[in-house]
Structures are given as structure tokens and as C-alpha cells.
Amino acid sequence: MNTMIAIGFSVFVALLAFVFAGWLYLWVNKQESSNVKISKIAEMIRSGANTFLRKEYTILAKFALVISILIFIFLPSPIWKGSIGDNFIIAFAYLFGTVFSALAGKIGIYVATIANKKTAEAALKGIKPSFLSGFRGGAVMGMAVVGSSLLGVSLVFLITNNPTMILGFSFGASSLALFAKAGGGIFTKTADISADLVGKIELGIAEDDPRNPAVIADNVGDNVGDVAGMGADLFDSHVASLAAALVIGFSIDQLTGSHNTVLVFAYAAIGLLSSIIGVGFAKMGKNSSPTRALNSSTYITTLLFTVLTAIATWLFTFEWRIYFAAVTGLLVGVIVGIATDYFTDDSKTPVRKVSKASESGPALTIISGVSYGFLSVLPAMVGIAISAFAAYQITAPLGIATGTQIEYALFGISMAAVGMLSIVGMIISNDAYGPIVDNARGLAEMGDLGEEVIRITDTLDSAGNTVKAVTKGFAIGAAGLTVISLLGAFITEVNSAILERNLAIPLIVGFDIMNPAVFFGLLVGASVPAVFSAMLMLGVTKNAERMVSEIHRQFREIPGLKEGKEGVFPESDKCIDIATTGALKELIPAGLFTIIITIVVGLVGGVYAIGGYLTGNIVSGLLLALFMSNSGGLWDNSKKYIESGNHGGKGSEAHRAAVIGDTVGDPFKDTAGPSINTQITVVSLIASLLSIIFLTFSIF
Amino acid sequence: MNTMIAIGFSVFVALLAFVFAGWLYLWVNKQESSNVKISKIAEMIRSGANTFLRKEYTILAKFALVISILIFIFLPSPIWKGSIGDNFIIAFAYLFGTVFSALAGKIGIYVATIANKKTAEAALKGIKPSFLSGFRGGAVMGMAVVGSSLLGVSLVFLITNNPTMILGFSFGASSLALFAKAGGGIFTKTADISADLVGKIELGIAEDDPRNPAVIADNVGDNVGDVAGMGADLFDSHVASLAAALVIGFSIDQLTGSHNTVLVFAYAAIGLLSSIIGVGFAKMGKNSSPTRALNSSTYITTLLFTVLTAIATWLFTFEWRIYFAAVTGLLVGVIVGIATDYFTDDSKTPVRKVSKASESGPALTIISGVSYGFLSVLPAMVGIAISAFAAYQITAPLGIATGTQIEYALFGISMAAVGMLSIVGMIISNDAYGPIVDNARGLAEMGDLGEEVIRITDTLDSAGNTVKAVTKGFAIGAAGLTVISLLGAFITEVNSAILERNLAIPLIVGFDIMNPAVFFGLLVGASVPAVFSAMLMLGVTKNAERMVSEIHRQFREIPGLKEGKEGVFPESDKCIDIATTGALKELIPAGLFTIIITIVVGLVGGVYAIGGYLTGNIVSGLLLALFMSNSGGLWDNSKKYIESGNHGGKGSEAHRAAVIGDTVGDPFKDTAGPSINTQITVVSLIASLLSIIFLTFSIF
């Protein structure tokens, strides 16, 4: 198989994904929705989400424009020193990346805010049609994201035949994702926490009580945080994994005349194809549960990928070693998923112990939750460590004949990341299902669809939460392997720059920890994810304080609101406004901090400091992301476990403590934790793109 | 100056420290104590602390015996392959280290449990004599710890002239410290949390109310956790910093005929001398505050060290570059201290914001406290990074003539650690002052010494808390630099083993992150401090649950206890028993986990994996230790800030939230956070000691 055929196949599968997404959209759209009250509320959610996206994208468009101008002037090397054409293409690729990412988010929100009301009303007919509405609505997002990623990467590579430009595309995707994930994360948790603080804790009213002015904002938040944000995050990881694999694979191809880039496209396309088939077959069987339906379509997709790539490897005589590296990656995805499941599943020890500890008050809820969160990092970190080690050992021998063992080893790790992310279309579909059914549950309650519908949507929602915890673990694992291979891409970029420009600098063969610049970078890099998370969470706290006062004001000043008088509505738009403005204000410093400190370290310490810096960033980023996502998921499920009647059930002391735990966990698992993924990727890409600048201009 | 003179000088200063400690003890002991009630309670605290120490040391003696037998069989190389004499000496050095560490802890507790009642009664005469009692009581511990450390290291070096044996001594100190710190930490927080949960939160009675069965246990905990535990911890850091510097310095001396070992002893002895003088001059001046008195004696000590070492350098023509490396280390200590102070001082933004957030309930207290804790890692990590970088660059040129730049650079880092830890005698004195005055406050309340005495001891206690936060930051910074130099010691040990045994293995020149074994170790090593902390904190939770039920039982079953009937006493010994048994039960798995996983990584991945593992351990250990210590300190001070009348003061919603924050912070700052220091040191020492085993027997 040659490169053109592989790219052609990728473009074909990407277009197929779009067609399939179109069909899914039409299917969802033709489902019944006749309830006026629900339509009205759904319209409020939709318009809130659109307002946020519009404001966010307006700011981000300016930001992207500034960055693209900077890229045009400075990258890959300053315009007065290199070729103007390269700079133009990379700036363009960057913009292309931001636009694709924004589009994927926009499509996801568009469909999700239709699917939510369809899902709610479908529940009147039973759980199966309701499940299908929610799942297919989410799958539109899944298909759109992976389709755009594969299409974008294929086109950029086809046009430029230069993987550095794909790094530009990838940086576009990441820089947007950084803000989309962080901004969405701040928005959604501001609303969620404020709604809970006043509603559940102060007034003791139900989760989606329509009197609460923050409830609509909370539902909007589910969409902008979990649909658009998570979509942007996984879009970014997927593009980055392809970019890293292409950079390294291309460099080996140049050196040895092999065809490794073919493999990257072939594997990615087969992954998307498997997801399309998996999504197509997903439905709830007889006596089945929604959790089982979601899981079994994930397993089908995984199996399909394993079998189809094996067939392709056999048919086109690809290297079996690369195949095993990719499969190792998928395996790690499964390990991380299972580990996450253990720490967040309410039938396992951690949730049970934390729920028990809640009987002695919120302090023990927090301490034990933090402890289990810390414990949960072990299996995932060891899993990622083993898979990187294994992929390295499996593929290194491929380079013996040509003296490119290290290059092949790094390519092996990048293919492990590609393997892990191959089924990402399915993962996103599962993930976007969550906020849709969560919204549907809210609509059912606010639209008075009755007990049975609420029960059905509750079941669907709880399945969404279980699956969400697992996919989040998967996303972190994927980001972990991806950034390790981006470290490989960084070395490749630096060395090609040295060779191309005949610089009088020895080639980089590695980063020695005992080199003081590397060690310096390591310590600084390790502190970045902590600071970044802190800034986001403080953003949430500040913003939530603003919104809580607004809710208090409304309950005080709007007559009849508290009593639930007929025809009296809260001013939900004010809450949406606070969440929007606050989120956009708070995310900028966190994003800029990350970008600037990377540039400073590179300019001060040079490429070796950056090597250490990236490593420190990866290590502490993985650690904190796993800790925060898992403890957050644990508290959420512990609260639900108590609410289902254990340890005194709703209203008990234990429940009050568990609600506090859940509130603490909210920004952990939905703001800071998952944003760290994107933060690491952005930093890795900046490092690769600025490698020539760091080589030429650093102080040490 | 030759080595013998330097060692002689060290032994002399160490003995001087003991004489001074004896004088301080006699001074404290002759202070008045006539109050019968106080004496009775103080006796209960004393006997509780002794019971704990006796039980702990009984278990640890068995543990140390087993380890020393294992060392005798296997280290530095298996007995059937090497010389039996070396194995015997190193096993003996190990035991010697454990005994010295235990002795220092025992002396500290002995004096602290006398000084507490003296301090309480001295407060009747005013704040100045009371301060002096507390401070001098603590200084006995400071002098004993640093005196034993310097004496022990000097003797072992004098007898064996082999720094590997000092690693054995250091491992003895650390392995005991690991359990003393962890065990003491679990004990003290079990009692503290249980007392608070039932006393403050459920019943709303005062902190040291004598009706509460856990109050005596809480006071015992202050002694076993903060006096004995912290003493063992800093003993361990001090010994380890000397061991690392001696290993590297000795190896340079062997290669080049220089006299670097002389410098290590000279600097350490001057540091202790400065501390003796600093302690001798400490007292509260006119219009002074206890905080100022503590800080100014620290500054005096720092200044003395800087000046005296400069004079010595000039007089004996030592290398000025080494001098500057050591001073850089001290400077970082100051940076870390100031940074810690900013994040925990109640006049600064973080404490203020967290206190304000508490008005919206405990969830925001926790979220904002965690966030500031995360932020607080940046200055300290960057400070440690810069100082290691600077020390490296300053001293590397010393090796140009002999081709030992890297060795000198590592020696520079180790001397930065020695510089930082030079004033540790003063630091421990300040630190042990804390629990003594805290105890005194409790005794004043339980012994009805009146409002004024309580007010005075409160002021003394609050100064203790401020200084404690700073010294804890200092201890973490010191551990950071020490373990970095232990990494250097590890390389030195591995290379001498290769050379001595003519092994067919290339010498280690560094640890390349792109080496898959190193990267594997890095990820696994990074997860260890998280898991270790989690195990300790879960130990506290479990143990606190047991104690809370016991307290409930006593209030239920002992007639008249709740009402505070005259002559009715709680069964305090039962609580002490639960804390003791539980602490000893919970600390073993955590300690064993750390030791075993290190050995497994070494046996599987070999010395390169261990290099990565140690690095990952240092990076994530520093991160988590700083985060936990600082957020814990912040919550503590935020609670005190609210109690002093802000945001509604005692009994308000904000206060209730702040108490929950403080309770969460307790195991963060007093159990897990500071134990991580010891955990990192132990792991580094095991790696060095087992280097030959890992070289010879590893799978990869």
C-alpha cells in the first residue's frame, strides 16, 4: 500500500463518518417532540449554549488570529531567517486546526441540544427508544470529531507532505481545546456548584427544581463543558497522536525509505471505521441495561479494530511488531478504564468506604476520597509505564538493520497512542451521551413528564456517569501515551532542524536527568499542572461566589419564586451571563500562564531544559489528572449510593457530607482534571514548534 | 586542615551540643511546678507518650533486627560473593543509626513532657519566662538530634573510613524515621481529629475540655508526632545530607587527591556551633513577640553560619565555590520558608480568601484551600530547581583540571543541601517549641490556671504554628536538595562497584529519559508518594473511626461525664491505647510498600530504572509534600483567623466550614505531607545500598 492510497482511504472513511453523522442527525431530528413546555425549556438551554459558544469563539478567534500572526513571524524559524512560505503554511495549518476544532464543537452542541428533548419525550415510550435517541445524538459528535480530525490531518499532509505542518494543525486544535475545555469546565461547574449550594444544601429542594435560577445554566453547562469541551479535548488528543506518529514515522521514512506514514493513516482509518460499525450496531437488547449496551458497543469496536488491523497487516504485509505496539496501547486503555471503574464503582470498596466515612461528617469524606484518589494513580501510571516500555522493546528491533532503533522505538510508542485512540469515535459517542441524558432528565422533571419518565432518564443518566468515569480514565491514558510520543516528536524536530541548518550543535540523543538544565526543567515542569489546575479551580470558586449571590438576590427580590407560584420564573439568563463572562475571564490567565512559562523555560534553559520540562509536566500532569478525575468520580457515586437509601439515605448526616464531597469533586473531575490533558498536549506542541527558536536563542 | 582535625572538631562540637543540651535540661527542670492538678495531667501525658514509644520501639527493634540480618547477608554484596567483614560493618552501622535516632527521639520526649508543665506555670509570671521554658525545652531536642547526627557520622567515618558505611548508618536513621514519623503522624492525627469531631463539631465544647476522653491522647500525640516524629525526620535528613556529600566528596578525593571530606565535616560542625550560639541567645526582648524572638534567633544562626564558614574558607583556603554552593542552599531554605509563610500567614491573600470562601460552606473552603496548596508548590519547586542548577554551575569548574566536572557539580548540590541543613539545630528547636507550648495551653485550660495564662499560652502557641509552617517548608526544601544529591551518591556507588569488581558494564554517566527503563521507573516512582500518603491517611481515617466510637461509648456509658460532674473523669487511657495500637498497625503496610516496590523496580528494571524511579519519586514527592503541608497549614490558620472574630467568628457558618477544612488539613500537614520527606530519603538510600544487587541480578 502506498501513502496516497492510505491517505485516500483515510479521506474516504472520514467522509463516510460525516455521511453517517448526517444520517444519525436526521434520525434523531425526526423523533417526536410535541411537548410545548419542554420545547420552551430546551430552547432556553440551546440559546444559552449558543450564547456561550458565540462569546467564547469571538474571543478565541481574536486569540487565534494573534497567535497565527506570531506563528507567521516566528515559526518554524523567524521570518527574516527562513523561508516565508513555510511560515505561511504553518500559520495557515494552525488556523485550519482551530476552525476544525470549533466546528466539531459547534456540531456537537447543535445536535446535543436537539437530542436532549427527543430523549426526554422518547422515554414516554420506554427506555429503549429513549436510550437510542441519547446515544445517537452523542454519536453525531463522535463521528464529527474523529471525521474532522482524520480529514484535517490527511489534507494537511496531502498538501504539504511535511509533518511539521501537522504539528501546526495540531497546535491549532490544542490551543482551542485548552480554552474550550477550561472555559467550558469553569462554566459548567460554576453553575453546578451554585445550583447545588443554594438548592440542595441551603433550601433542600430537588436537583432540577425549576424555581432555581441556576438550573438552566447547569443544563447549559453540561453541553458546553461535557459535549463541546470533552469533544475538543479528544479531538486534540486524536490529532496530536497522529501528528506525533507522523513526525517520527516520516523521519524514519526519510532515513530508511520505509513506509511508516502509511501505517499511521491505515490504523487511524480502520479505527474510525470500527467506531462507525460499533455505533451503528449499538442498541439495548432484551433484558439489557444501558450500561451494558454502551460497554458492549465499546467492546465490539475494540474487537473490530484488533481484527481488521490484523487482516490489514497480513494483507499488506505491514510490520507485525507495529501491530503489537498498537494493540498494547489499546490494552492499556482497557487497564486504565478498569482501574478507574474499580475506584468509582459503587459496588466496590472505595465508594463503600467513603460512603461509610461520611457518617462521621464531611472531613472524613474528603480525607478518604483524596486517599482513594491518590491510590487510584498507581494502576494507571504503572499501566502507561509498562505499555510505553513494551512498545519500545517491541518495535526497537525494526531499526537494527538501519541503525534507527531509537527512532523505531519512539514510533512504537506513538503507535501505541494511535492504537489507544483508534476507538475514540466510540468513546466520544459514549461520552456525549452522558450530558444528553442528563439534560433529558432535567427536562423531564421541569416539564412534568411524570415519575416513570424520570425513573427511566435517571437510569440512563446513571449509566452515563459510570461510562463517563471510564472514558475519562481512557482519555487520560491516551493523553499520557500521546505526550510521551510528542517528546519523541520534539527530539525529531530538534534534530532535523540541526541537520537542515548545519548548526554547530551535537544532535540530541536523549535527556540526561543529571544534566542540570534537564533537572531544572523537570522540577519547573512538574509544578505547572498543579498551578494550572489551581487557577482553574480558583476561577470556579470566584465565579460560583458571584452566582450564589445572584441566586440569593433572585429568591429575595422576585416575589413568589421561592414559593413556586404559578407563572413566576427565575431570571435564568442572568445566571448564564455570569457563568459565561466569568468563565471567559478566568480561563485566559491559566492558559497564558502555561504558554508563557513554557516559552520562558525554553528561552532560558534551551532544548535540554525543555526536554526535562516536558517530562516533569507529563509525570505530574498524569498524576494530578488521575487523582482529580478519580476522586471526583468517586465522590459523585458515593453521593448517589447514599441517595439510593444507604447510610440513612437522602437528608441524613451522611448524605449532607456526601453532597459536600460531591461539590468538591465537581471542579476536580470536570474542570481541572480533564483540562490537564489538554494543557500537557499544548505545552508539548509549543515545545516542538519552537524548537528552532529555543536552539538558536536560549541563554544557557 | 586535614580530615582528622575536621572530624575531631566535629566530635568536639557534637559533644559541646550534648553538654549544652544537658545544661538546658537542668535549667528547664529547676523551673517551678507546684500545681498538683497540672502535674497529674502532665504525668498522664508523659506516661501515654512513653507507652507509645515503648510499644513502637519494641516493634521497630524487631524490624531493625530483621533488616540488619538481611543487610548482613546481602549488602553491599551477598555474603557468599563479597567480604563478610564489610557486610558485618554495614549491618552494625545500620543498627547504630537506628539506636541513635531512637535515643534522640526519647530524649526529646523526655524533656518536652517536663517542659510543658513548666511552661504552663511559668505563664503565671508572664509571657517571657513562659516563652523561655518552652523554647529551651525544645532546644534540648534540637541539640540532641544534631549532636547525635554529627557524632554518629563522625564516628562511623573515623572507624571505617568508608562512606558506604555512612549510607548504612543513614539508612538506619531513615528507616526508623519512616516509622516514627508515619506512626507518630497517624497517632497524633487520630487523636486530634477524633477529639475535634466529637468535641468541637458534635458537642460544641472547647478544644481542651477535660471531659473529652481524647484530649489527653491529643496532647500525647503532639509529643509523639511533632517532637519525636519531626526530630527523627530531621535527624534523618541531616544524616542523609552528610552521607551524600561524604560519598561524593570521598570519591573525588580518591580520584584527585583533594580534601573535600574535610569540608563536609567543617561545614556541618560550624552549622551546629552556630545553632548552639543562636539557641543560647534566644529570648524575648522588650516589646517583642514570640514569633519575632523565634525568627530572629533563626536569622542570627543563619548569619553566624554564613560568616563563620566564610572565615573558615579564608583561613584554611577552602574553595570559595563550595562556599557559595552551600550559601545558595541556605538561600533556598529562606525562599521556601518565605513562600510557605505567604501561603499560610493570616494577613496574606490565601488565608483571607479561604476564610471568605468558608462563608459559602465547607465545599468552597476545601476547593480554594486545595487550589492555594497547588499554587504554593511553584515558588518552592522553582527555588529548589534554581539552587540545584546554580550549585551545579558554580562547582563544576572545580573539576576541569582533573576531568571531574560532573562529580564536582554533584558535590556542589550535596553541599547546598549541607548548607541548607546547617542550621537544622535551630530549626528543630523552633519546631519542638510548638508542641510544648501547645501542651502548655492544654494544661493551663485543664488545670484552671485562669484566663490570662490561657491568653499567654495561646499567643505562644500561635507563634509556634506560624514558625512550624515555615520550618516545615524548610524541611521539605532540605529533603529535596538532599535527595537530589543522594541521586548523585547512587551513581557514585554504582560506578565504584563496577570499577572495583571489574564488571563488564559501562559506567553510568547519567539517566536518559528516552531510555525506556528510565522512563518506566520515572512513572512508577512518581506514583509512590501518592500511594504512600494515601495509605497513611486511610490509616488515620480508620483509626479515627475507632476512636470516635470509643468516645461516644464513654459519653453514653460513664454517668456524669457529659455534664462535667466533679470527680468524674473520662477513661483517657483507652483512647491512647486505640491510637497506639492503630498507628502501629497502619504504618507497617505503608512502610513495607515503599521498600518492596523499590526493590521490585530495581530487580526488574536494573539501575537505570532505579535512576528514573528515584527522580520520579523526588519530583512527585516534593510536589505532594509541599501541597499537603501548605494547604494543611493554610486551613489551620484560616480557622484561627475566623475564630479571632472574622466572618462571624466562633460558632458561625464560616467557622463550621473552617473547622472541617482544618480537620481535612490535619492528616495532610501532620501525617502524610511531612512523612513523604522520609519516604523519599529511605527509597534513595535503599537504592544506593542495593546498587550492586541491582547491577548483578536485575531481569532487564
Nearest CA of chain B to the CA of A514: how many Å?
5
pLDDT per residue as tens digits for the range B53-81: 888 888 889 989 999 999 898 877 788 87
A590: closest chain B residue by CA: B375
CB contact under 8 A, A367 and B530: no
In this prediction, the residues of chain A whose per-residue pLDDT falls under 70 are 1
Q: Which residues of A touch B663 (CB under 8 A)?
A: 363, 367
Helix B163-195 and helix B451-501: axis angle, to 10°? 150
Q: Which three cell numbers stand for residue B588?
A: 507497617
DSSP state letters, B408-441: HHHHHHHHHHHHHGGGHHHHHHHHHHHHHHHHHH
Q: Which three cell numbers stand for residue B107?
A: 530524649
Q: Which residues of A touch B687 (CB under 8 A)?
A: none
Nearest CA of chain A to the CA of B89: how many Å?
31
Q: Testing the interface with A: which of B405, B407, B623 to mutate, by most A Cβ within 10 A? A: B623
Across chain B, mean pLDDT equals 89
Q: For residue A523, what pLDDT is reported?
A: 95
Q: Residue B494: which of A625, A592, B486 has the closest Cα? A: B486
| Locus of grid cell 535527595 | B483
CB contact under 8 A, A378 and B531: yes
pLDDT per residue as tens digits for the range B642-664: 988 999 998 898 999 999 999 99
**Alpha-carbon distance A556 to A558, whole Å?**
6
Q: Which residues of B touch A656 (CB under 8 A)?
A: none
The shortest CB-CB distance from B619 to any of A514, A531, A620 is to A620
Q: Which residues of A touch B378 (CB under 8 A)?
A: 527, 530-531
B658: closest chain A residue by CA: A363
Amino acid B13 reads V
Q: Write down the domain spans for chain B.
A: 3-697
CB atoms near residue A553 (< 10 Å) = 13
Nearest CA of chain B to the CA of A371: how many Å?
4
CB contact under 8 A, A515 and B516: no
Q: Is the pLDDT of residue B335 over 80?
A: no
Q: Which three cell numbers stand for residue B499?
A: 570499577
| Locus of grid cell 488556523 | A95
A512 backbone dihedrals φ, ψ, rounded to 5°: -85, 125
Using DSSP's 3-state secondary structure scheme, residue A432 falls into: helix
DSSP state letters, A319-334: -HHHHHHHHHHHHHHH
CB contact under 8 A, B514 and A488: yes
The arithmetic mean of pLDDT across residues B320-335, rounded, is 89
The shortest CB-CB distance from A513 to any of B366, B511, B535 is to B511
| Locus of grid cell 520534539 | A490
- Residue A358 CA, chain-centre distance (Å), reads 31
B449 backbone dihedrals φ, ψ, rounded to 5°: -80, 0
**Alpha-carbon distance A226 to A109, whole Å?**
10
Q: Which residues of B touch A509 (CB under 8 A)?
A: 512, 514
Q: For residue A16, what pLDDT is reported?
A: 97
CB contact under 8 A, B374 and A523: no
Q: Testing the interface with A: which of B200, B372, B523, B586 to mutate, by most A Cβ within 10 A? A: B523
**Alpha-carbon distance B375 to B392, whole Å?**
27
**Alpha-carbon distance A217 to A583, whole Å?**
13
The proportion of chain B whose per-residue pLDDT surpasses 90, expressed as a percent, equals 45
Q: For residue B580, what pLDDT is reported?
A: 87
Binned at pLDDT 50, 70 and 90, residue B416 comes out as very high
Nearest CA of chain B to the CA of A55: how many Å?
27
- Residue A414, classified by CB atoms within 10 Å of its CB into exposed (0-12), middle (13-18) or buried (19+), is buried
Q: Testing the interface with B: which of A360, A551, A670 to mutate, by most B Cβ within 10 A? A: A360
Nearest CA of chain A to the CA of B202: how many Å?
10
Q: Testing the interface with A: which of B360, B492, B618 to mutate, by most A Cβ within 10 A? A: B360
Q: Which residues have C-beta within 8 Å of that of residue A172, sequence separation ≥ 6? A: A64, A93, A94, A95, A96, A97, A98, A99, A100, A101
Q: For residue A492, what pLDDT is reported?
A: 85
CB contact under 8 A, B513 and A612: yes
Q: Which residues of B touch A363 (CB under 8 A)?
A: 193, 197, 660, 663-664
Of how many residues is chain B composed? 700
Q: For residue B617, what pLDDT is reported?
A: 95
For residue A394, list its beta bridge partners: none
Nearest CA of chain A to the CA of B658: how many Å?
10
CB contact under 8 A, A367 and B667: yes
Q: Which residues of B touch A622 (CB under 8 A)?
A: 523, 526
**Alpha-carbon distance A530 to A535, whole Å?**
9
Half-sphere exposure of B214 (CA within 13 A, CB side): 33
Q: Which three cell numbers stand for residue B478?
A: 532540605
CB contact under 8 A, A386 and B520: yes
Cis peptide before B516 (omega within 30 of 0): no
Could you tell me if A393 and A348 are in contact, meaning their C-beta atoms sit under 8 angstroms apart?
Answer: no
CB contact under 8 A, A522 and B627: no
A526: closest chain B residue by CA: B619
CB contact under 8 A, B384 and A523: yes
Nearest CA of chain A to the CA of B541: how many Å?
7
pLDDT per residue as tens digits for the range A495-549: 888 888 888 888 887 899 888 899 999 999 999 999 999 999 999 988 988 898 8
Q: Is the pLDDT of residue B339 over 90?
A: no
Q: Residue A10: which of A336, A197, A269 has the closest Cα? A: A269
CB contact under 8 A, A537 and B371: yes
Q: Which residues of B touch A616 (CB under 8 A)?
A: 619
B382: closest chain A residue by CA: A524
How many A/B residue pairs have CB atoms within 8 Å? 246
Name the DSSP class of A396.
G
Q: For residue A354, what pLDDT is reported?
A: 95
pLDDT per residue as tens digits for the range B75-132: 777 888 777 888 899 999 999 999 999 988 888 889 999 999 999 999 999 899 999 9
CB contact under 8 A, A377 and B530: yes
